[in-house]
Amino acid sequence: MNITFTIMRFTSHKIHYRDFYLDKMQEIEYLGCMKKISRQVHNTAAELGESLKTWRRVYELKASQVAERAGISLGTLSKIENGDPSVSLSAFLEVARSVGLLESLAESLDPLNHDLGRARVTESLPKRVR
């Protein structure tokens, strides 16, 4: 079993956590609270981060510009672009907004934009009574 330990310490906030990379799961311990992140989620976070980085480069934006527009630090932007799944959803969405992808992201998740979603939503709506 291959185990890699990474210890990060943020002294200003006194947050300590360890990342354990295991075969199928990544366990992240935050102040005694255990979160399990599946390999699939970890891989998807990496893909999304890489996509955001590519869009930033397509628009010829510097990392500092995107971080400033999103209201986050360069470190947080780096975590997002490197696929760190522990970054907050709001930070991720702010970066998507700052490169002009927020509306596209919301549209892609709308159930009414997919056949199955439309079928299920119309099925569950109440019928009119005359």
Residue 89 has pLDDT above 80, yes or no: yes
pLDDT at res. 129: 64
Q: How many separate domains does the chain show?
A: 1
Residue the block writes with tokens 């990474």: 6
Residue 2 has pLDDT above 90, yes or no: no
pTM of the model: 0.65
Structure tokens at 19: 């990342």
From CA 94, how far away is CA 45, in angstroms rounded?
15
**Per the domain annotation, does 82 fall within a domain?**
yes
Q: What is the CATH number of the domain that holds 78?
A: 1.10.260.40
**Per the domain annotation, does 19 fall within a domain?**
no
**Per the domain annotation, does 47 fall within a domain?**
yes
**Per the domain annotation, does 30 fall within a domain?**
no
Model pLDDT for residues 8-60, shown as the tens digit of each residue: 444 333 333 333 343 334 444 444 445 688 999 999 999 999 999 999 999 99
Residue among 56, 48, 51 at smallest CA distance from 74: 56
